[in-house]
Structure 1
């Protein structure tokens, strides 16, 4: 049951005019007073609609624990990653760049991406969506089946327009021409509509041990676009999941 304030928010507030945001000074906004009593059910619905995988539902910025020796580059990079994620949440929606979380397997990139998404939903009522990029490609391919109940356009519509999109594992799919075209279409469309995107990738800008770079996986043109769209957060460290298993009795 919506309160009177929530009903005002739905119909159109004279302060925020239905946007949910109130300007307090130049280039600074805060959640409008009319949204103060929106029920927790609305947040729950947004969280459910975000498609967060069960494995990550407990992820929070507060339970991301940086790992590494005191004053080590690994520890400092992970601490800086948390700070930049918190700053992103604080600045939203008054920001025009998303995030690109880069680093090896197991350093917590997806943990941080999901944590940011959840904070944006809870504190800013943002409409968010999570997709593993490989799963998204699979869904699109399945839509080509004549028996499919979903069309490609129906799948891509929320991908194009949702306020904040998390695309996990960018570059993980084999870079065929179709994959390249699909990546370019999604990323360029969100760029043109000024929608914020948070990417995670295991591929770096420089090759280590002859591994492919991100540019080699997605193409130089798309890598350049990501520079323009996102603040890059480089996270270094060992695979925390493997390390944790090695300590288990």
Structure 2
């Protein structure tokens, strides 16, 4: 069977096999096409994904173009497979009266800070989605220095996940020791304590060789 083919399932099919197939389709549908190719997975990342819902944080750091975002999505996919978590965005019920938050939430740090600015509609929902998702992935944290307001809201997100031991993936060009001046001392301290640090090295893969 080729990748992407739909297997035939009948009344005598293995329900576990069908469930695994559904999960794999959901994971592939969630991960952007750019980051679906298989790449080597460092042992620290593999161990983090196997830890499941008590995995804590994963901090991927390195220069531009070293594959942090790709590895972040790879870690996300492995975690979903190990926990049998179907990635799902926030949604409302049939009558639009009850809102269900996302099971997995992925956001670029710059977009998150924009959503947390004073006066933005539904900023509270943004915080709650980030706090309560089974897995949160913040990409490229430290790329923009937040205001005092957004810095405080970011801390609310990180501290809540820290307190409840909820899994978090963070990518950044900055090493942890340089993060405090960009996100604040408290958020940087929480991340340093809760995260497994995985440094990435090498040339910029985006540049033609």
TM over 0.5: yes
Residue in 2 aligned with 1:115? 74
Q: Relative to structure 1, is the Cα distance of residues 193 and 47 closer, same or farther in structure 2, using a 3 angstrom cutoff?
A: farther
* Shift in CA distance, 140/105, structure 1 to aligned 2, threshold 3 Å: same
Separation (CA, whole Å) in 2 of partners of 1:3 and 1:141: 51
- Other-structure match for 1:92: 52
Q: Secondary structure at the match of 2:42?
A: helix
Query: Aligned-pair distance for 1:195?
Result: 0.9
Q: How does 1:15-26 map to 2 (within 5 A)?
A: none
1:44 alignment partner in structure 2:
25
Unaligned runs of 5+ residues in structure 2 are: 1-8, 86-102
Per-residue CA deviations over 1:77-96 (Å, capped at 9, x if unaligned) read xxxx7221112222324x44
**In structure 1, distance between residues paired with 2:143 and 2:42:** 24
Aligned to 1:229: 194
Q: Do the aligned partners of 1:173 and 1:179 also contact (CA within 8 Å) in 2?
A: no
* Deviation per residue, 1:135-188 (Å, 9 max, x gap): 12223449725xxxxx22333332111111111011112232122112111101
Larger-gyration structure (1/2) = 1
1:176 and 2:147 equivalent? yes
| 1:160-239 mapped onto 2 (5 Å cutoff) | 160-205=131-176, 213-239=178-204
Whole-angstrom CA distance in 2 between matches of 1:59 and 1:132: 20
Shift of 1:35: 5.2
Alignment of 1:3-82 (within 5 A): 37-38=18-19, 40-45=21-26, 48=29, 50=30, 52-56=31-35, 58-60=36-38, 63-64=39-40, 82=42
For normalisation by structure 2, the TM-score amounts to 0.74
The 1:109/1:175 distance shift into structure 2, 3 A limit, reads: same
Report the count of equivalent residues: 185
After superposition, the CA RMSD in angstroms is 3.1
Bigger relative contact order (CA 8 A; separation at least 6): 2
